[in-house]
Amino acid sequence: MLRFVFVIISCIFLIMYYVPKMSHYARHPEKYDDYTCYKMARVMCEHIRKRGRIVTIASGMEKLPKDGGYIMYANHQGKYDALGLILSHDNPFTFVMDAKRSKMFIADQFCDLLRAKRLDKEDIRQQVQVINEVATEIAAGRRYLLFPEGGYDHNHNTLNEFSAGSFKIAQKAKCPIVPVVLFDSFKPFEGKSLKKVITQLAFLDPIPYESIAQMKTSEIRDMVVELIDDKLKSMTTMNDW
């Protein structure tokens, strides 16, 4: 938490500059396309990474589908997760975020900038609508990130239960699934140290739609969880913390 506060304070003038700029870009999609908005998001994430003394080592980028939309399912560890992924994923993607968390300052503008979807966990009808909208956009070529665990409190390098319902999107969109593994991603913004910290992430082999077309969502979930868990267990910390 100390590092998070330090980054916010040290970036206060950048925040004052980027927050209205994000809002402006979000209000004018006819002028600022996904690539332009994503480029701004990456610049902001890089400022945070450098000021937070964070290093992210990524692997498997060459495995990402070259064409068409797809959905990434990742384990969830903390506030840095999406930032590390944005810095490691060259092409634009967006995400689905809990509606309540998304209304926090900066997170709100960041969601608008990347045209993310906000999921109301208390409104089943809205959830169905979001699933349908995301599936439609992926089928049209967009890329999405989901954290099926939902929350991340004290997950660290272990997994909590994944929501089977989140895998309906892949079946509706008839798109590939890309499992993503985050390791030590909780460390940057948890704890009381400001020393350099190393996080890791890995993009695993895509799972083609044909492989999941006839599966139950619970079966897809179990398969993805097993792949992520196996990779997590093979990874080791690269620095002391």
Tracing tokens 């990779």 back to the chain, one arrives at 231
Asked if residue 157 has pLDDT above 60, the reply is yes
**Res. 173 pLDDT band, cuts 50 70 90:** very high
d(CA 77, CA 176): 24
Name the nearest CA neighbour of 143 among 186, 206, 228. Answer: 206
Average pLDDT rounded to a whole number, residues 235-240:
78
pLDDT, position 2: 80
For 72-104, the DSSP string reads EEE---STTHHHHHHHH--S--EEEEEHHHHTS
**Residue 79 · residue 153 · CB < 8 Å:** no
| Averaged pLDDT of the chain | 93
pLDDT, position 174: 96
pLDDT, position 241: 46
Average pLDDT rounded to a whole number, residues 175-186:
97
Average pLDDT rounded to a whole number, residues 120-138:
94
pLDDT, position 239: 66
**Res. 198 pLDDT band, cuts 50 70 90:** very high
Q: What percentage of the chain reaches a pLDDT higher than 90?
A: 79
What pTM was computed for the model? 0.93
pLDDT, position 228: 98
Asked if residue 153 has pLDDT above 80, the reply is no
H or E element that contains 171? helix 168-173
